């Protein structure tokens, strides 16, 4: 890899700061812009104005690239960073890494001749992110439940990547886990490792005695009927993205303990999450270079 290549980390949350820190620790020249409000070790990389940073060989943006389709996600920037400004400054032969890049923005950047790579389409990184999310949820359960996880009956709706890691983690701590999943294959996977698994309909079969319910399904499945079949003191943790799986308004009306657990890797383990992003970017660059070679 060309050690003279300049990287610019633009915006993003604390994960991207640690991404920059990891890259700089490898001796790579790293510029930082759009995170002026974040306290950080400025000796490891160079602070730059936005226009200068946007001239770097490789531009790194956060996860997600944008939350509204208009501004770059930059919660620690002194001023908003319009996506249009980025597009206007991008030139040919630049390489841009971003997470969950919106198709319209990606198309506009490609029109300027830039190479666009969405690093959150990388399956190893997705798995690392799910693992960190599950670990954070375990910590939330420990902090918010008045009882030990050992012996506690906990429901997990959905058995995808987060559900898998979470169920495994809680099971090793002695919790009594029941997974609820629509897909019979997911239910079979849970049962083959000794975890009880039911359909979503089973949530309505009598009063459930769960101490906590963690939702990982990004589609509303825990509505009024399901909430009425839970203990009033059941802790509800929403771990899915919008449109979410738990009816938060219905939970509030019932005065149930509801916790929206979004963006957990960035909140609970930003150093690890940032390192995983940096390692993913470097690996993807090596792969791009390898496949581009004659």
Indicate if the pLDDT at residue 138 is higher than 80: yes
How far apart CA 83 and CA 64 sit, in angstroms, is 13
The predicted pLDDT at position 207 comes to 73
The predicted pLDDT at position 288 comes to 80
Q: Which CATH architecture has domain 126-262?
A: 3-Layer(aba) Sandwich (3.40)
The predicted pLDDT at position 11 comes to 96
Indicate if the pLDDT at residue 229 is higher than 70: yes
pTM, two decimals, is: 0.91
Q: What is the CATH number of domain 7-121+269-292?
A: 3.40.50.720
Q: How far is CA 239 from CA 163, 172, 259, in A?
A: 10, 20, 9
The predicted pLDDT at position 187 comes to 97
Residues 6+ apart with CB under 8 A from 249: none
The predicted pLDDT at position 237 comes to 98
The predicted pLDDT at position 292 comes to 57
Which residue from 124, 135, 182 is spatially nearest to 157, judged by alpha carbons? Answer: 182
Mean pLDDT for the chain?
A: 93
The predicted pLDDT at position 212 comes to 98
| Average pLDDT estimate for 149-161 | 97
Instruction: Quote helix, strand, coil % in the chain, to nearest 5.
Output: 40, 20, 40
pLDDT tens for 173-206 read 999 999 999 999 999 999 999 999 999 999 988 7
43 pLDDT tier (thresholds 50, 70, 90): low
The predicted pLDDT at position 208 comes to 78
Q: Which segments of the chain belong to CATH 3.40.50.720?
A: 7-121+269-292, 126-262
The predicted pLDDT at position 1 comes to 41
Question: 137 near 166, Cβ under 8 Å?
Answer: yes
| Average pLDDT estimate for 95-104 | 95
pLDDT tens for 106-132 read 999 999 999 999 999 999 999 999 999
- CB-based burial label for 282 (10 Å; 0-12, 13-18, 19+): middle
């Amino acid at each position: 890899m060309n050690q003279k290549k300049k990287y610019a980390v633009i915006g993003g949350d604390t994960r991207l700061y640690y991404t920059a820190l990891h890259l700089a620790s490898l001796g790579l020249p790293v510029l930082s812009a759009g995170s002026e409000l974040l306290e950080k070790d400025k000796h490891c990389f160079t602070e730059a104005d936005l226009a200068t940073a946007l001239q770097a060989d490789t531009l790194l943006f956060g996860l997600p690239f944008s939350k509204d389709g208009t501004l770059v996600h930059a919660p620690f920037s002194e001023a908003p960073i319009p996506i249009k400004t980025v597009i206007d400054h991008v030139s040919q032969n630049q390489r841009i890494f971003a997470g969950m890049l919106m198709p319209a923005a990606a198309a506009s950047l490609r029109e300027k001749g830039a190479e666009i790579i969405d690093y959150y389409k990388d399956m190893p990184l997705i798995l690392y992110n799910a693992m960190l999310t599950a670990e954070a949820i375990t910590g939330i359960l420990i902090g918010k439940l008045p009882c030990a996880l050992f012996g506690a009956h906990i429901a997990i709706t959905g058995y995808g990547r987060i559900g898998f890691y979470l169920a495994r983690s809680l099971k090793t701590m002695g919790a009594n886990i029941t997974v609820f999943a629509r897909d019979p294959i997911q239910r079979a996977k849970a049962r083959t490792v000794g975890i009880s698994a039911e359909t979503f309909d089973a949530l309505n079969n009598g009063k459930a005695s769960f101490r906590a319910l963690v939702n990982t399904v990004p589609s509303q499945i825990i509505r009024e009927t399901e909430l009425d079949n839970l203990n009033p003191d059941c802790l509800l943790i929403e771990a899915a993205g919008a449109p979410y799986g738990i009816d938060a308004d219905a939970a509030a009306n019932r005065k149930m303990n509801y916790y929206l657990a979004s963006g957990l890797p960035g909140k609970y383990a930003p150093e690890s999450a940032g390192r995983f992003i940096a390692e993913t970017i470097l690996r993807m660059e090596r792969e791009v270079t390898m496949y581009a070679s004659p």
